[in-house]
Chains A and B, each alone.
Chain A
């Protein structure tokens, strides 16, 4: 489909029939003429029960939650609000206030590179950049990103054009299961612009917000150090 967000090749959403598709927020075109054009899909409806936040419907975004009919209705703001995600603008108008940035990315935009590890700011798997700074998207309300720029792992590099940090992670085998990895890389890239000291301990402290159950920490540190030294040289 012409308007589908670009997805990495080789990945297909599982469990969808041919007549189903994910509910997507359409990126707004430059003249702002596009609006939301969602279609109900089984996957998204099921997602909304778990995430307790999503709106699915054939009409433009509605405001009432399908899960809690007695909850206060959110007023749609009069002013259109948009967030820039990986260079594309998305209209947030009408989005339920309780949608986190993490759920917006994963469930609505199918940018599943960002992971949900703990959903409470305790693991760092959900790390993205907002206005160039690393944050936990699980504790960020999507409505509060209006007017800001978000970068996810998908926006950092592509398989055919890896960010130097991604290349370093590959070279130093900085992952096993891969679940913490996108958060690790987003954190590592952000710290390149932070005032941290030169030692291994400084790097570890700066990466302390990203937990790895597989224990690839030494390799991650090696990857980060390599890119840091390259940044200094270049």
Chain B
């Protein structure tokens, strides 16, 4: 592992604006540092910062500190009761050990599992080494994305938590060199386009401090994750759905997908086919079709198109049952 300096600022003010790389659980960063993919000269440990609270705001929104561990968040009583899709998503991911280590902020910033990205000795990777090409497109890409891809990168965003937070329309709170700001999660992640090495809206020194979830009372929610193994495996396709039903009709729908997008994939197309419709199989199927209408699979991951459609349908059925 590349050597580095370790700092442990005792306040958010000292941490924000730092030019070093923030480390919390380390489950992505230490992994990638061992592979030589990440070589930060300075690590800034933010785990001691007072950002480990989960509190309900007067607005009814939930403010989650960036240092809250994934396991604590998944089992939090308010999350279980009001945001079950988030709990389900978190518990479907990784392992209990990793969930004890990983933090909310870190989970947002996890990086792709593309084998070419993770292996600096492999073929070209525009995300790891801009301009070097994308070896996955003509190589092994079974786990790679079918939505949001470009000719420069087809790497999947592997998270479950982020997909649920997309469907819940989370707002990310950031503190940086220029002070505090917020970004809607829908605007946080970038498409690879011709700059796959730029994954999100963070600027140098930006520290994620909190994630805010708007109230979701009265909604039915479900997270469904489909994968090769029953546990400890990334999604081939997943879906997070949040709907509000009134008199058998869908008044409000949010649909997000995982395992298929270069970023956690919010599907406005699916939502348009659901809102105002009767909550039945026909509506769910048309939503799924719309969600995948613009999918651009490659030969090894073509199966994901149909799988993702069925995943959306099943998630909607489960949520509305």
Q: Which residues of A contact B (CB under 8 A)?
A: 52-53, 65, 68, 71-72, 74-75, 96-98, 100, 119-122, 124, 127, 133-136, 139-141, 143-144, 187, 190-191, 194-195, 204-211
Contacts and interface: CB of A to CB of B under 8 A. Distances in A.
A144 B26 CA distance: 10
B98 A209 contact: yes
B200 interface: no
B97 A136 contact: yes
A210 B95 CA distance: 8
Nearest to A137: B97
A71 B5 CA distance: 10
Interface in B1-30: 1-6, 23, 26-27, 30
A52 B97 contact: no
Given A75-B5, A209-B232, A141 B26 contact: yes
B5 A121 contact: no
Top 8 A-B residue pairs of the complex, sorted by shortest distance between their CB atoms? A209-B95, A71-B3, A208-B231, A97-B6, A98-B1, A139-B30, A133-B100, A209-B97
Which of A135, A139, A205, A207 counts the most B-chain CB atoms under 10 A from its CB? A139
A65 B3 contact: yes
B229 to A, nearest CB: 9
B97 A144 contact: no
Contacts of A190: 96
Contacts of B30: 100, 139-141
A145 to B, nearest CB: 11
A124 B6 contact: no
Interface of B: 1-6, 23, 26-27, 30-31, 33-34, 41, 43, 45, 47, 71, 75, 91, 94-98, 100-101, 231-232
B286 to A, nearest CB: 34
Contacts of A97: 3-6, 43
B29 to A, nearest CB: 9
6 contacts: A68-B3, A136-B98, A191-B96, A195-B75, A208-B95, A209-B95
Contacts of A139: 26-27, 30-31, 98, 101
B220 to A, nearest CB: 22
A98 B4 contact: yes
Nearest to B118: A120
A134 B100 CA distance: 7
A65 B313 CA distance: 55
A72 B231 contact: no
Contacts of B33: 98
A121 B98 contact: yes
Contact of B3 (A72, A204, A209): A72
Contacts of B43: 97, 141
Contacts of B34: 119-120
